[in-house]
């Protein structure tokens, strides 16, 4: 399978936006590209036809990839019902309501079957898959039955790019701590780091890049400056669709490409020959 997985040191570090940029850049290169997020917890879904609904974030990424959304791009959606339970959509259709412990104990096998089936379908139809994780892969209390981070990377057998948000502070601790909490097999799957939402003079961060690369042994494949006006609806946005501006996929993808090492990221997706 040709692909890459974008994981983050925490929620809201820019995983969705990174996937969106990569989807558009690949599509512009003529690559048939599919976004994929195995499990998305979101109150916002979109009807993709036939009564099927998936999360809005993966619909945005499909649009960026210049392809139509299908349920396999987001096989599991958890729509919060209250603080302890969620309504489950499985491959676009209602599956039922479960509390957190019930979901963990009873749904795991069903979820993994849907994830494997979906990855297989997308692998047959597309040239590359851009996979988004959720939260952090270092949630040690959940990792034995997680359905959305390293287990998916292993299932798809793809490299991982780890994204951190420098705007919120603590970027060095969040990256190094995340890597330290991974088991060696998963740690070895991480092939690069991406620093997101940078503000200020990049020269002030050059020593930080050197420190991260020396400390982790991983290349920093981009420091992406904060971009105010992109019009792209981010995951779990509280805005209403009528209030959103037209998404500027091309502008965002060009911004990402200017500040990331796109040739090396592309090579990770397609292997040594870079396609």
* Across 89-108, average pLDDT: 94
What is the three-class DSSP state of 36? strand
Residue 256: per-residue pLDDT: 96
| Residue 242 pLDDT greater than 80, yes or no | no
* DSSP string of 190-258, one letter each residue: EEEEEEEEE-S-GGGGHHHHHHHHHHHS--EEEEEE--S------TT--S-GGGPPPP-HHHHHHHHHH
CA neighbours within 13 Å on the CB side: how many for 32? 8
Query: pTM for this one?
Result: 0.93
Query: How confident is residue 245, by pLDDT bands cut at 50, 70 and 90?
Result: low
- pLDDT for 233 equals 58
pLDDT band at residue 227 under the 50/70/90 scheme: confident
| Per-residue confidence (pLDDT) for residue 230, from 0 to 100 | 55
Banded model confidence at residue 92, pLDDT cuts 50, 70, 90: very high
pLDDT confidence of 201, banded at 50, 70, 90? very high
Residues 6+ apart with CB under 8 A from 96: 87, 88
Q: Rounded mean pLDDT of 117-137?
A: 97
Mean pLDDT for the chain overall: 92
**Which pLDDT belongs to residue 228?**
72
pLDDT confidence of residue 86: 94
* Sign for the pseudo-dihedral over CA of 20, 23, 27, 33: negative
Q: pLDDT, tens digit, for every residue of 251-266?
A: 999 999 999 999 999 9
Is 70 exceeded by the pLDDT of residue 39?
yes
Q: Which is higher by pLDDT, 145 or 243?
A: 145
Q: Please state which of the ranges 36-40, 97-101, 207-211, 228-232 shows the lowest mean pLDDT.
A: 228-232
What is the structure's pLDDT at 11?
A: 92
Q: Which two tokens stand for residue 122?
A: 């997308």
pLDDT of residue 81: 86
Q: How confident is the model at residue 43 (pLDDT cuts 50, 70, 90)?
A: confident
Q: What is the pLDDT of residue 180?
A: 97
Q: What pLDDT shows up at residue 239?
A: 37
* Order of all β-strands in the sheet with 85-90: 39-41, 76-80, 85-90, 93-99
Residue ranges of domains in the chain, CATH in brackets: 3-270 (3.40.50.300)
The pLDDT tens digits for 149-159 are 999 999 999 99
> Residue 244: is its pLDDT beyond 90?
no
């Amino acid at each position: 399978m040709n692909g890459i997985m974008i994981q983050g040191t925490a929620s809201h570090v820019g995983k969705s936006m990174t996937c969106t940029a990569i989807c558009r850049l690949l599509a512009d290169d003529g690559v048939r590209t599919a976004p994929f997020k195995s499990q998305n917890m979101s109150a916002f879904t979109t009807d993709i036809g036939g009564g099927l609904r998936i999360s809005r974030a993966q619909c945005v990424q499909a649009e960026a990839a210049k392809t139509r959304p299908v349920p396999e791009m987001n096989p599991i959606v958890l729509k919060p019902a209250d603080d302890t339970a969620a309504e489950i959509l499985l491959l676009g259709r209602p599956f039922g309501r479960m509390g957190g412990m019930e979901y963990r104990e009873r749904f795991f096998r069903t979820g993994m079957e849907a994830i494997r089936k979906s990855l297989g379908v997308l692998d047959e139809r597309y040239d590359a898959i851009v996979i988004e994780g959720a939260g952090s892969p270092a949630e040690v209390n959940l990792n034995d039955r997680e359905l959305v981070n390293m287990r998916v990377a292993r299932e798809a057998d793809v490299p991982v790019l780890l994204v951190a948000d420098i705007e919120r502070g603590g970027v060095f601790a969040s990256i190094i701590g995340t890597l330290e909490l991974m088991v060696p097999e998963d740690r070895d799957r991480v092939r690069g780091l991406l620093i997101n939402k940078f503000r200020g003079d990049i020269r002030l961060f050059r020593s930080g890049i050197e420190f991260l690369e020396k400390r982790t042994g991983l290349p920093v494949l981009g420091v992406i400056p904060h971009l105010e006006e992109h019009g792209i609806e981010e995951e779990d946005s509280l805005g209403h669709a009528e209030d959103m501006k037209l998404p500027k996929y091309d502008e965002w993808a060009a911004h990402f490409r200017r500040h990331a090492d796109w040739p090396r990221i592309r090579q990770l997706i397609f292997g040594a020959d870079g396609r």
